[in-house]
């Protein structure tokens, strides 16, 4: 009889026995080698020793500082609705507000006792805790989740390296280290989505999925749509009340902040970003059709699924791949391993948990495709795809090894690693960003 949590057509793999000392040491060895590979391949791109956040350049930190000061609007931003205010902040009712989800603001408040000088908005914030909070969970959670799905530590390590260095996660990690709020949010959301996926594909205890969803939603609002499959699973597990309470706890801070800042629990403030910025392309699109509209579907679909990269320079010592625009390149060209979601569709579709999880990404993708922006600026990758990409990887992980699939996985991962190596520049030793 097929185990209810294992895809019936997945390659056979033996789970690692907890009491097997040799297996434990093999797992530890693969994890250590994985970290070495991450340092070798990605170290110059992300330079953990240089990670920092400046409070006066990060609206999430600045919002946390504002809360500590008993206010909601961002300090030191004035009331000027022009370009002089911090990028991607909203001007509403004479005040400037952060529009990004509140996780970084929460962390600012929680960790403020560790940084007595944080109330000075010009200070560097959380240099060491930032690495611990935003970087280290990525390889650790990735390895654990992919190990659960493949049953083989070597393949778990390979998939983790491919996920971190062969997807849009690599440029997001590089920019997160420079304290860019949107990129910090993308990095944190990846951890949340993998925790969420692991619970729905595993024991389905609901509370780990709620924890993962909280991390995802408090960094990327569109991921709130994953509440639907969670409710379905909770209902089948007779844990619907716990699930609804958990979802209410996740939603309450976002809706309350929206009400207090913008006068409506459903107004996240994005339309207010463009006040007095009517000449910008995104402002024109938002003003003409709204924040979300089917009118944007065609353009966004092209940049997410079809747009090709361009080889700008090739020689015996260098290949320079660029994008002919700032709006992105097809995820199938940058990360061809994702093709397994199509190749093995019959296999994951026959497994109920994987089917539910894979299909739950479609509403999220549709929402992204109807958004008035593409994720600009992202020359050579598509960062919005990170809202469903780790879930796809968790779904296809059992099919990524065995026979020709093993070679397919290795070749696709090698291509993606090389591709993103050409796109993401090494950070200077003195810091300051790519």
| pLDDT value of position 431 | 45
pLDDT above 70: percentage of residues in the chain: 85
Q: Please report how many Cα atoms fall inside a 13 Å half-sphere around the Cα of residue 214, on the Cβ side.
A: 19
Residue 120 reports pLDDT greater than 60: no
Instruction: Note whether residue 318 is domain-resident.
Output: yes
Question: Is residue 4 in a domain?
Answer: no
Average pLDDT value for the chain: 87
Whether residue 118 has pLDDT greater than 50? no
Both tokens of residue 66?
């504002």
pLDDT, mean of residues 157-179? 96
On whether residue 52 sits in a domain, the answer given is: yes
Question: Does the pLDDT of residue 209 top 90, yes or no?
Answer: yes
Residue 7 in this model has a pLDDT that exceeds 80: no
Domain span at residue 288 reads: 39-423
Give the per-residue pLDDT at 20.
81
Q: What's the rounded mean pLDDT across residues 155-170? A: 98
pLDDT score at 432 = 46
Q: Which of 389, 380, 375, 368 is nearest to 434 (CA)?
A: 380
pLDDT at 322: 56
Q: Quote the pTM value.
A: 0.90
The helices-and-strands tally (H runs, E runs) of the chain is 19, 6
Task: Give the best-scoring range by mean pLDDT among 5-19, 62-76, 200-214.
Answer: 200-214
Residue 108: what pLDDT?
87
What pLDDT was estimated at residue 320?
59
The pLDDT of residue 397 is 98
Which tens digit of pLDDT belongs to each residue from 52-76? 887 778 899 889 989 988 999 998 7
Which band of pLDDT confidence, cut at 50, 70 and 90, is reported for residue 6? very low
What is the model's pLDDT at position 43?
Answer: 94
What confidence tens digit (pLDDT) does each residue in 293-351 have? 999 999 999 999 999 987 665 554 555 555 556 788 999 999 999 999 999 999 999 99
- Whole-number Å distance between alpha carbons of 321 and 329: 11
Residue 28 lies in a domain: no
* Residue 311 burial by Cβ neighbours in a 10 Å radius (0-12, 13-18, 19+): exposed
34 within some domain: no
**Per-residue model confidence (pLDDT) at position 57:** 82
With a CB cutoff of 8 Å and minimum separation 6, the contacts of 250 are: 210, 213, 214, 217, 218, 224
Q: What does the pLDDT read at residue 81? A: 52
Q: Is the pLDDT of residue 112 over 70?
A: yes
Query: b/e for 28-38, b at 16 or more Cβ within 10 A?
Result: eebbeebbebb
> Mean of the pLDDT values across residues 406-416?
97
Per-residue pLDDT at 312: 60
Q: Please, what is the end-to-end C-alpha distance for the chain in angstroms?
A: 53
Give residue-wise pLDDT tens across range 213-260: 999 999 999 999 999 999 999 999 999 999 999 999 999 999 999 999
Tell me the mean pLDDT in the region 112-139: 71
pLDDT band (50, 70, 90) for residue 18: very low
Q: Is the per-residue pLDDT at 366 higher than 80?
A: yes
In which band, very low, low, confident or very high, does the pLDDT at 155 lie, cut at 50, 70 and 90?
very high
Give the pLDDT confidence of 24-43 residue by residue, as tens digits: 999 999 999 999 999 999 99
Which of 188, 182, 61, 170 has the alpha carbon at shortest distance from 132?
Answer: 188
pLDDT digits (tens, 9 = 90+) for 175-200: 999 889 999 999 999 999 999 999 99
**Cβ contacts of 204 within 8 Å, gap of 6 or more:** 233, 237, 353
pLDDT of residue 113: 76
Structural domain includes residue 432: no
Total number of domains constituting the chain = 1
Percent of the chain topping pLDDT 90? 67
What pLDDT is recorded for position 119?
45
Question: Could you tell me the pLDDT band of residue 121, with boundaries at 50, 70 and 90?
Answer: very low
């Amino acid at each position: 009889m097929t185990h209810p949590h294992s895809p019936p057509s997945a390659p056979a793999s033996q789970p690692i026995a907890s009491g097997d000392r040799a297996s434990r040491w093999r797992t530890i060895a693969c994890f250590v080698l994985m970290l070495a590979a991450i340092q070798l391949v990605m170290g110059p791109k992300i330079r953990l020793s240089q990670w920092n956040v400046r409070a006066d350049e990060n609206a999430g930190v600045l919002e946390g500082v504002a809360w500590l000061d008993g206010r909601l609007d961002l300090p030191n931003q004035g009331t000027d609705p022009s370009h002089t205010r911090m990028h991607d902040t909203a001007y509403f009712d004479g005040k400037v507000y952060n529009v990004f989800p509140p996780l970084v603001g929460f962390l600012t408040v929680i960790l403020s006792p560790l940084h007595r000088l944080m109330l000075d908005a010009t200070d560097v914030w959380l240099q060491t805790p930032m690495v611990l909070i935003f970087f280290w969970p990525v390889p650790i959670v990735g390895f654990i989740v992919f190990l659960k799905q493949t049953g083989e530590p070597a393949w778990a390590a390979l998939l983790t390296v491919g996920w971190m260095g062969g997807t849009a996660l690599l440029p997001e990690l590089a920019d997160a280290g420079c304290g860019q709020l949107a990129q910090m949010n993308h990095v944190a959301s990846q951890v949340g989505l993998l925790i969420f996926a692991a619970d729905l594909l595993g024991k389905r205890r609901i509370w780990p999925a709620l924890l993962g969803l909280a991390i995802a939603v408090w960094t990327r609002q569109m991921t709130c749509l994953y509440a639907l499959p969670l409710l379905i699973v909770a209902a089948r597990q007779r844990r619907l009340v716990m699930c609804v309470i958990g979802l209410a706890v996740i939603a309450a801070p976002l809706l309350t902040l929206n009400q207090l800042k913008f006068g409506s629990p459903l107004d996240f403030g994005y339309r207010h970003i463009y006040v007095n910025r009517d000449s910008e392309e995104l402002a024109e699109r938002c003003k003409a059709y709204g924040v979300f509209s089917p009118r944007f579907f065609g353009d966004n679909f092209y940049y997410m699924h079809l747009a090709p990269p361009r080889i700008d320079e090739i020689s015996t010592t260098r290949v320079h791949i660029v994008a002919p625009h700032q709006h992105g390149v097809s995820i199938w060209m940058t990360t061809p391993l994702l093709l397994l979601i199509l190749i093995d569709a019959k296999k994951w579709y026959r497994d109920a948990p994987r089917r539910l999880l894979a299909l739950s990404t479609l509403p999220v993708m549709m929402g992204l495709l109807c958004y008035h922006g593409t994720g600009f600026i992202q020359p050579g990758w598509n960062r919005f795809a990170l809202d469903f990409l780790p879930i796809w990887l968790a779904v296809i992980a059992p099919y990524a090894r065995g026979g020709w699939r093993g070679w397919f996985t290795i070749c696709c991962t090698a291509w993606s690693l090389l591709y993103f190596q050409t796109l993401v520049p090494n950070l200077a030793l003195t810091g300051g960003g790519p």
